[in-house]
Structure 1
């Protein structure tokens, strides 16, 4: 039996109202991307490529909108450097990378090991390594392999996993973390 408070609300009614508010305020998957981006008005991605020597320090989202030219630069930066093919990188992947970087609280840019991979590059890498998936999300522009010298594989993976927005692979021997916007899952390579 519940007792009434002086305001006339029962404990059960108060808990029910709280639960309804919590459910209504919980992010749906369609709004989860905004939630995982860190909720800031400005979103930024910082990377460099040891393969090409290029650097990127880009604000790609401001006040609820992606900046088209900035996204084009990110796409070019994350291209298949072996073939020079550019593919549109899934914005969810960029958001996961940026949110994870923010959670790690570092100024160091990511080292991009692999972004987009053409089918030819993926087949070549697959022939050399068992760790390369035949239907890799890299070929769809939905994955990135990243490294930070100031953070461990475990720290990077925990940050990416906390976004609960895609796959996170931990590659300790090669010292990198795979982040993608596919099904939420984790593995060790």
Structure 2
């Protein structure tokens, strides 16, 4: 379901018959670690659910390219110093957000699919060609 900046990829079943598979969620959390310093934080399964549901709605076989999952406070501060678009209390630091790209779908298509899940925040970043998905309050924005 994901490929990453480090060249890694992951395609794992994390939920079966109404139950999360904890080992699979650990794999997802490791994959979505802060790639700048390898710090790992448990990724909120609700975020994975939103990403999975949006992916399914788009009917694609291509895995997401994960640009950013968990961000340590140090990484978030560094990114914030370089860009006004990085939130001081980003949900990335709580393991509740992901920035994603698909080559076969536009930012608009991805954002629409994620927003149709009515389950969290969806940010459309057309200039940088990615969509932010999180399990926070339902809201949308353009960055």
TM-score by length of 1: 0.75
Residue segments in structure 2 that go unaligned for 5+ positions in a row? none
Bigger proportion of residues as helix: 1
Counterpart among 63, 77, 80 of residue 123 in structure 1: 77
Instruction: For 1:147 and 1:52, locate their aligned partners in 2 and report how far apart those are by CA, in whole Å.
Output: 15
Instruction: For 1:52 and 1:166, locate their aligned partners in 2 and report how far apart those are by CA, in whole Å.
Output: 27
1:77-126 CA deviation, whole Å, 9 max, x = no partner?
Answer: 00001111000001100000000000000000000000000000000000
> Is 2:3 the counterpart of 1:48?
yes
Report 1:82-161 matches (<5 A).
Answer: 82-161=36-115
The structure that has the greater radius of gyration is: 1
1:25 paired residue number: none
Q: Give the paired residue count.
A: 143
Instruction: For 1:176 and 1:120, locate their aligned partners in 2 and report how far apart those are by CA, in whole Å.
Output: 22
Report 1:56-71 matches (<5 A).
Answer: 56-71=10-25
Instruction: For 1:104 and 1:152, locate their aligned partners in 2 and report how far apart those are by CA, in whole Å.
Output: 11
1:37 paired residue number: none
**Which structure ranks higher in relative contact order (CA pairs < 8 Å, sequence separation ≥ 6)?**
2
Q: Alignment RMSD, CA only?
A: 0.4
Counterpart among 159, 163, 175 of residue 117 in structure 2: 163
Task: For residue 13 of structure 2, give the secondary structure of its aligned residue in structure 1.
Answer: strand
Segments ≥4 residues shifted beyond 4 Å: none
TM-score by length of 2: 0.99
Instruction: For 2:95 and 2:22, locate their aligned partners in 1 and report how far apart those are by CA, in whole Å.
Output: 17
Residue segments in structure 1 that go unaligned for 5+ positions in a row? 1-45
